[in-house]
Each structure stands twice: as C-alpha cells, then as structure tokens.
Amino acid sequence: MKNSITVKFGIIAFLVLVIFMAAQARPSYSADEILYLDGGILPDITSPVGIEIAGEKGYWGDAVRLNADDASYTEDGKCVFRYGIELVNSGPAPAGEFSYRLNAGGWSAIVDEDGIGEGGSVTSVGEIALSPGRQKIAIKLDNHESVAELDELNNVPFALRVEVDGDCDKDRENPQLVADSGDK
C-alpha cells in the first residue's frame, strides 16, 4: 500500500512539474518577429554607400586618392577636406538623436545628428583632417549606442583606404561657406 501511494505522489509531482515548466516556457522568435514583438518596431541606421571627400566618392571597403590641392585649407601639416556621408534609416521606425565617430589616423571627431525618419536618409557634412600619404578612414554609427536598432551589428566601423598626394604644409585660406556668410 505504501508503494502505491508513493508512486501516485511521484506521478502527481511529475505532472505538476511538467505543467509548471510548460506555463513558464516562452516561445522562440525569429529576427523578423522580434521586430514587431509587443507592438514595437525599431529603426536601423546604416551608411550603405560611402563618403564623398572633396568631390571624390569613396565606397566603404574600397580606396580613394585625393590631391592636397583640393583641400579647403591646411592646418598643422594636415589637409582639411570637406566631406559628405549619406546616413540611412532602413528600419520601419524613426531613429532619434544619435552620433557617429569619424577617425582618420590620429584625427577623430564625434558628430551629432538630430535623427532620421522611418525609411529616410540625411547627408551629414563636415570637415576631415588628413595627413599626406596613406591612411584609413573609419566611421562608427550610433557611436554611443543611444538608438535601439533592428540590427546593432551594422554599426561596426565602416572603413575606406585613402591616399593624399601633395603638400599639406602650404598655407591655404579657409574659404567661407555660403551658410557662414549671414545676410551679406
């Protein structure tokens, strides 16, 4: 009699354990289901094309050659070029404020962006200081990881090999931009 009670108790305990485990189990989700989990959707910031420096288009993973004479001005033995980078939000939700880090040799800058609408893009412009010779330009998107994204892995540094030919010690005047001219 004792054995049958022990067996019954064991079966009941096993069933309770199975029911508890089944109630606590969570379904696994694929990546596209995670995007819409709990009604939330996420942005995805990327730079699919590359960078344009002094009118020369450089694609990420490729190389570009620049002439020092095309620099806007020189400073501390470096040529300062104007650049433009297309930043894209390929996600179905707007991306809020974020920053990106641009590195070239010992030069570095963090650039703040106001955000990008869902499926939208912006062209970020600025100046980059490059030494004569070969170097690598790298950009890391969402530098402070302030935007939760669909794909955080595509924020890793994009890179471009650059060669600057010529002399960056020549004095060049820093030309005034149209936006800097005010009401003149």
Q: How far lies 58's CA from each of 50, 130, 156, in Å?
A: 6, 15, 18
In eight-state DSSP terms, residue 60 is T
C-beta separation of 137 from 128 below 8 A: yes
The model's pLDDT over 99-139, given as tens digits with 9 standing for 90+, comes to 999 999 889 999 999 999 999 999 999 999 999 999 999 99
Residue spans of the domains in the chain: they are 2-38, 42-174
CATH match of 42-174 with 2.60.40.10: yes
Q: Considering just the CA atoms, what is the radius of gyration of the chain in Å?
A: 27
pTM of the complete model = 0.70
| Tokens read off for 54 | 């002094």
The model's pLDDT over 29-71, given as tens digits with 9 standing for 90+, comes to 344 434 444 445 899 999 988 999 999 999 999 999 999 999 9
DSSP three-state, residue 135:
strand
Return the pLDDT at 32. 41
C-beta separation of 168 from 68 below 8 A: yes
DSSP three-state, residue 140:
strand
C-beta separation of 108 from 102 below 8 A: yes
